[in-house]
Structure 1
Amino acid sequence: MALSLNNYLKDLSYNYYLKKDSYEISRINTSVDNMLSKLDKDFEYLLRKRFVFGSYSRGTILSRSIDIKSDVDIMVVFKHSEYERTPETYRAWLKNFADKNYKDRYGSEVLKSFPTVTVRLNNINFDLVPAKLETNWLNEEKLFIPSKNFSSNWQETNPYDVKEKLAEVNKKYNYIVKTVIRLMKAWNAKNGYPFDSYDLEMKVADMNFYNDNYQTGFFYAVNQLSLDWSAAQSKKDKLNSLRYNISKVKDYLEAYDSTTAKYWLHKVLPY
């Protein structure tokens, strides 16, 4: 029976994770509270609700020391009048809000990047996503965000679906899925982001980890991960390099050489 890095991988994932009791998360929580308070104050009656979603709420966000692109997503749902409000109108409102409250303050930066407005602070980035709510003929509320294809159109979304799905599959597979996601996101960040972070999470969440532990689940995810045929060759090379290095990890575990196995492991994962 080969050596195992199961507990080692679990500990690595834990170290990458932005933990609830850390000083970093305390600072971020303060920034989140300030952001939400400023949104309430500036928009007042124009605001229907605002809430945090994304990796921050799903428990898959990494420390910025591991992933410089770690951010907090905030859905900003406006009180909508169909005849007078477009996605671009709301984005302009959010850009003005961010400029007023954050631009050029303590090194902060504000960017308007479709479909969000990004606020870069020293300790965290915020992505502000404009949204609207509509009620259908069944009296069901539907949430809409700007369409990725046309800046003047809307597309339906449900940010809660992703969180619920991940919680479900994580429980189904003995709570290893979030750990594997954190490991894969750490590799992705270390290697120049060949995958969009959200897409990477969804790809791993769709995998079958039946009877896996942290190690076998991570190795399985590495082999199952794929890129679209049209992806840049540089991205394909990074994925092939990942698979090669993990194959070397397996070889040295089979040879009972954990030191060299860890050497190859850290060619793809940060310490």
Structure 2
Amino acid sequence: MTINSYLTQLANEAILKDSEKLSIERSLIAIQTRLSTYFSGDIKKQFVFGSYSRGTILPRAMDLLSDVDYMIVFSDTQYQPQTYLNKLRSFAEYHYSRSEITQSNPTMVLTMNHIRFELVPAIESYLGGLQIPGKANNYQNWMQTDPTGFNQVLYSTNQSNQSLIKPLIRLVKYWNARNNYPFESFDLEQRIVQHKFSLIGLFGNPQLKNYFFSFMEGLEVGYLASQWKQDALNKAKKIIKEAKELDRDGYPATAEETIAQFLPRISGYTS
């Protein structure tokens, strides 16, 4: 097996199983129905956003913090964010008392056996669009957001790159999860979309391995980042350099084994 075939197989395995999707969809239907009943007309709309809606979410087996983002837009706009978070906590405690319920600003996290759901309160702004709790002043004020705007950007970028961007995102997020999350998940997705992959197509066959190597080699954490984050990234770059040299020197099997040890398959898990 070559490096490219291994990474392609791993990226395919990083897709939710049909059984996982079914379980999530059932939970989403239940959440939607219970929210509508519990708040009885106080909700203007509710919808899924984030990595689940983009098809870049990882299975729980590959990312213990994998979650589904769910936005709840309230009709009443007069309160500060914490009031709506408290309302969502009351809802969760009423309907999901056996599940773990925690506040992780700016969301209320509902942890079930199969997946985590992040319930995000929102209101419509006077200027149009949506607002969610903002980081300023410890999430006590609102900030403008476009929860689905990135979806189209990702779709277009994926289409113009031989549909290799989504598999790349899953690989990089898997590396991130295995290394204690030196980067925020959404930040990685944004960086990948903004990365310049055009030279790959000009100077060789656009393969997933080349996309993975190009992005990881160009990835930076910044000078002010914690030492452990710098160490995690430097280690990744060192292993990638070693694998590329082995492959170039005519040892494809050893090169593939090096990458397989770096990003191992999950035992017993296939999508």
TM over 0.5: yes
Partner Cα separation in structure 2 for residue 7 and residue 269 of structure 1: 13
2:247 maps to which of 244, 248, 253: 253
2:73 matches 1:73: no
Cα pair 1:80 1:133 within 8 Å, conserved: no
Match of 2:121 in 1: 130
Contact 1:143 1:156 in 2 (8 A): yes
Partner of 1:25: 21
Residue of structure 1 equivalent to 2:44 = 48
Q: Which residue of the partner structure matches residue 180 of structure 1?
A: 168
Residue identity opposite 2:192 in structure 1:
V
Q: Is the 8 A contact 2:3 2:259 kept in 1?
A: no
Q: Structure 1's 178 and 111: CA in aligned 2 closer, same or farther, altered over 3 A? A: same
1:148 aligns with 2:135: yes
Decide whether the 8 Å contact of 1:17 with 1:62 is kept in 2. yes
Structure 2 counterpart of 1:8: 6
Q: What are the residue-to-residue correspondences of 1:1-271 with 2, within 5 Å?
A: 4-19=2-17, 22-82=18-78, 85-103=79-97, 105=98, 108-136=99-127, 141-150=128-137, 151-210=139-198, 211=201, 212-271=206-265
Q: SS of the counterpart of 1:127?
A: strand
Per-residue CA shift, 1:93-122, capped at 9, x if unaligned?
00111111112x2xx200011110000000
* Contact residue 6 and residue 260 of structure 2 kept, 8 A: no
Amino acid paired to 1:6: N
Matches of 1:269 and 1:119, distance apart in 2: 29
The 3-state SS of whatever aligns with 2:148 is helix
Partner deviation per Cα, 1:211-245 (whole Å, 9 max, x = no partner): 13211111001111111322100010000000001
Please give the alpha-carbon distance, in whole angstroms, between the structure 2 residues aligned to 1:152 and 1:9: 43
Cα deviation for residue 266 of structure 1 reads 2.4
CA distance in 2, matches of 1:132, 1:53: 15
1:147 offset after TM fit, Å?
0.7
Deviation sequence 1:8-60 (CA, Å, 0-9, x none): 211210101214xx211111111111111111111121100000000000010
User: Size of the alignment, in residue pairs?
Assistant: 258
CA distance in 2, matches of 1:119, 1:81: 24
Deviations 1:134-160 (A, max 9, x none): 243xxxx21100111122211000011
Q: Measure how far apart 1:259 and its partner are.
A: 2.4
Q: Aligned AA for 1:14?
A: N
Alpha-carbon distance in structure 1 between the residues aligned to 2:109 and 2:94: 14
Structure 1, 252-261 or 93-102: larger mean CA deviation = 252-261
* 1: CA distance, partners of 2:52 / 2:252: 34
* 5+ residue gaps, structure 1: none
The answer to whether the 8 Å contact 2:72/2:121 transfers is yes
Moved over 3 A (4+): none
- Give the letter aligned to residue 129 of structure 2: K
Paired with 1:232 and 1:78, the residues of 2 have a C-alpha distance of 38
Q: Calculate the TM-score normalised by the size of structure 1.
A: 0.91
